[in-house]
Amino acid sequence: MTPVDIPVETRMADARSGASSRATTSAASGKSVPAMELRAVKRSFSEGENELQILNDVNFAIHPGEMVALVAPSGTGKSTLLHIAGLLEHPDEGEVLIGGVNCADLGDDARTRIRRSDVGFVYQFHHLLPEFTALENVMVPQMINGLGRKDAAARAQQLLDYMRMGNRSSHRPSELSGGEQQRVAVARAVANAPRLLLLDEPTGNLDPTTANYVFDALQALVRASGVATLFATHNMELAGRMDRCITLSGGKVLPVEL
């Protein structure tokens, strides 16, 4: 079965290379390998002569198909945590594992390969390429990873259909509403069938009705694909619809009861 037979359920083997290929094998015990795991992660920043501890001994994991809400006040380190989990930043101490692969000692090229094939990002602002259509925006990451134009277009159309955007695939971002642009951004983020999807306030600029519509489409896609999802949000209603909720307090990850 080729990667475009089903929107997201089949991994794109052609997109895997280098160190990330080691992450495809489960542990001998048969237990599920976390899609992403942070172990004893620390991160601090300097403020003049002071050191501000943002993350302090963070330990948690997300498993395939799990949706985890991250809710915390602004300035507590949500974006820093997402950047470290997505290999955009290095922690001062600790380990980041993607699909069982310890990325702590990997070089920049290997980290980039894993990030491109195993991690998808969606931000509060969609960051779509304005000169390209919705279809082309979803094709771009696939073609960067080596998929041919025809297969990339077929998969992009399937993903847009799944996100209820199939009839808007030929429109450019300026011709789409905010909610439509975010649905295209989600489709683009999962185009390479990542293990991990990281979302940083993706519905923060949307009205409640549109936010729920985007979340409904996203949730259906996550459930169908089995991608592990970490969703930073201030929307407690959406957080309550996920599998579990965590927060940051004193630089540590703590569970939240909703």
Residue 25 lies in a domain: no
- Rounded average pLDDT over 199-226: 88
- CATH code at 90? 3.40.50.300
Output the 3-class SS for the chain: CCCCCCCCCCCCHHHCCHHHHHHHCCCCCCCCCCCEEEEEEEEEEEECCEEEEEEEEEEEEECCCCEEEECCCCCCCHHHHHHHHCCCCCCCEEEEEECCEECCCCCHHHHHHHHHHHEEEECCCCCCCCCCCHHHHHHHHHHHCCCCHHHHHHHHHHHHHHCCCHHHCCCCHHHCCHHHHHHHHHHHHCCCCCCEEEEECCCCCCCHHHHHHHHHHHHHHHHHHCCEEEEECCCHHHHCCCCEEEEEECCEEEEECC
Residue 94 lies in a domain: yes
- pLDDT of residue 201 exceeding 50, the answer is yes
Query: What domain range includes position 46?
Result: 36-125+180-255
Give the separation between CA 227 and CA 54, rounded to whole angstroms. 27
Per residue in 48-78, pLDDT tens? 788 888 999 999 999 999 999 999 888 888 9
Residue 93 lies in a domain: yes
- pLDDT of residue 233 exceeding 80, the answer is yes
- pLDDT of residue 247 exceeding 60, the answer is yes
Q: Which residues contact 77 (CB under 8 A, 6 or more apart)?
A: 43, 54, 55, 248, 251
50-54, 89-93, 121-125, 205-209, range with greatest mean pLDDT:
89-93
Cβ density class 123-133: b for 16+ within 10 Å, e for less: bbebebeeeeb
Instruction: Confirm if 168 and 191 have CB atoms less than 8 A apart.
Output: no
> pTM, whole model, 2 decimals?
0.84
Burial group, residue 79, by CB count within 10 angstroms (0-12, 13-18, 19+)? middle
- pLDDT of residue 162 exceeding 50, the answer is yes
Residue 150 lies in a domain: no
Phi, psi of 175 (to 5 degrees): -100, 5
Residue 168: both structure tokens together: 């808007």
Residue 45 lies in a domain: yes
- pLDDT of residue 129 exceeding 80, the answer is yes
Residue 199 lies in a domain: yes
- pLDDT of residue 7 exceeding 60, the answer is no
Domain count, the chain: 1
Per residue in 67-120, pLDDT tens? 999 998 888 889 999 999 999 999 999 999 999 999 988 999 999 999 988 999
pLDDT band at 31 (very low <50, low <70, confident <90, very high): low
Which of 27-31, 85-89, 161-165 comes out lowest in average pLDDT?
27-31
Instruction: Confirm if 156 and 142 have CB atoms less than 8 A apart.
Output: yes
Residue 72 lies in a domain: yes
Residue 224 lies in a domain: yes
- pLDDT of residue 15 exceeding 80, the answer is no
